[in-house]
Copies of this chain bind each other. A is one copy, B any other.
Amino acid sequence: MDFAGVLSVMGADLRRVEDRLRDETRVNYPFIGEILTELIAAGGKRLRPLLLLLAARPFDYELEQLLPAAAGVELLHTASLIHDDTIDHAELRRGRPTLNSRISTETVILFGDYIFARAAMLAAATMNPRVVGVFASTLGEICDGQLQEIFTTRQLEQSRDDYLRRIFGKTAALFAGSAEMGAILGQAAPDAVDALRRFGGDVGMAFQIIDDVLDLRENTAHLGKPSGLDLRQGTITLPTMMFVEQADGDGRELARRVIDGRASDREHEELVRAIRASDALSDALRVAECYVAGAHAALEPIPDGESRRMLAALADHSLRRTH
């Protein structure tokens, strides 16, 4: 089965998630409601809710109990993007102006908090204390990853472990948590819950590494945000680390200048070209492939059947994304 097949099988359930998300836009403030509607409409492919639904599906689940959790992980994702864009002073996301570029930072902070609160209410609506526990610790891991990103900014000397830990928090934690919440709500046995959490984490790691590759490989028009933005912000990603490991003295010096924020736009473009010309992007892709292989292996204790095939297709899809 391919990813289009997954979306076709899961279409009806995903539309229910969409309805639930739309319910969340009915708030007291017309202004907030409008922005929320827009943010939710601009959202991506609902990968996190999909993962949550798929993780419950091999087991004994009730869709009605999954829906608030599925909407909750999507809103948690939305809230973390809002604070992330505020922190990065980002002006574009998915080709549209960020909230941050349109309303005051103060309002954006609170708006993010408010969406966190709505997400937490959705998690609480499952009435399952373990799910709420996973939700809360996932939020902690996301903050941890974002704090790591701040503390390691412009530090070219960080280790690959620093990078992996950082992207686990930033991205993979919510994939891991979504799969774990789904499995718990499906009343899966403990080893299956662990396996699905590992699966989600591996898919999330691959997803973020691909994101970091795309940031360097694709052009601005394709990305909907400036190409090579991570470098500009001093965020060291795996392809950059791999480039620096292989580069000669000139290449390393150029990377250092760009990462330090001392470089001109021309030098920035030169570095992007040098990384593209090196083996760094394909080497980073290989690391992502290893995570996807790990995700497949994690599925071993899950009952064979359509759901497991869909999970496998979701894992493969993370490698094929181009946006």
**In this assembly, does A97 line the interface, its C-beta being within 8 Å of a C-beta of chain B?**
no
Q: Which residues of the other chain, B, contact A120 by a CB distance below 8 angstroms?
A: 120, 132, 135-136, 139
Q: Which of B106, B111, B116, B140 contacts A118 (CB 8 A)?
A: B140
Q: Which residues of the other chain, B, contact A110 by a CB distance below 8 angstroms?
A: 83, 87, 143, 146-147, 150
**In this assembly, does A127 line the interface, its C-beta being within 8 Å of a C-beta of chain B?**
yes
Chain A positions 70-129 with a Cβ under 8 Å from a chain B Cβ:
83, 86-87, 104-107, 109-114, 116-118, 120-121, 123-129
Q: Chain B CB within 10 Å — which of A31, A124, A150 has the most?
A: A124
Contacting pair B133 A114 (CB below 8 A): no
**In this assembly, does A137 line the interface, its C-beta being within 8 Å of a C-beta of chain B?**
yes
Q: Chain B CB within 10 Å — which of A29, A105, A121, A125 has the most?
A: A121
Given A29-B151, A86-B109, check contact A124 B114 (CB 8 Å): no
In the complex, which residue of chain B has the Cβ closest to the Cβ of A87?
Answer: B106
Q: Which residues of the other chain, B, contact A146 by a CB distance below 8 angstroms?
A: 110, 113
**In this assembly, does A1 line the interface, its C-beta being within 8 Å of a C-beta of chain B?**
no
Q: Which of B87, B118, B123, B144 contacts A109 (CB 8 A)?
A: B87
Residues of A bordering B, CB below 8 Å: 28-29, 31-32, 83, 86-87, 104-107, 109-114, 116-118, 120-121, 123-129, 132-133, 135-137, 139-140, 142-144, 146-147, 150-151
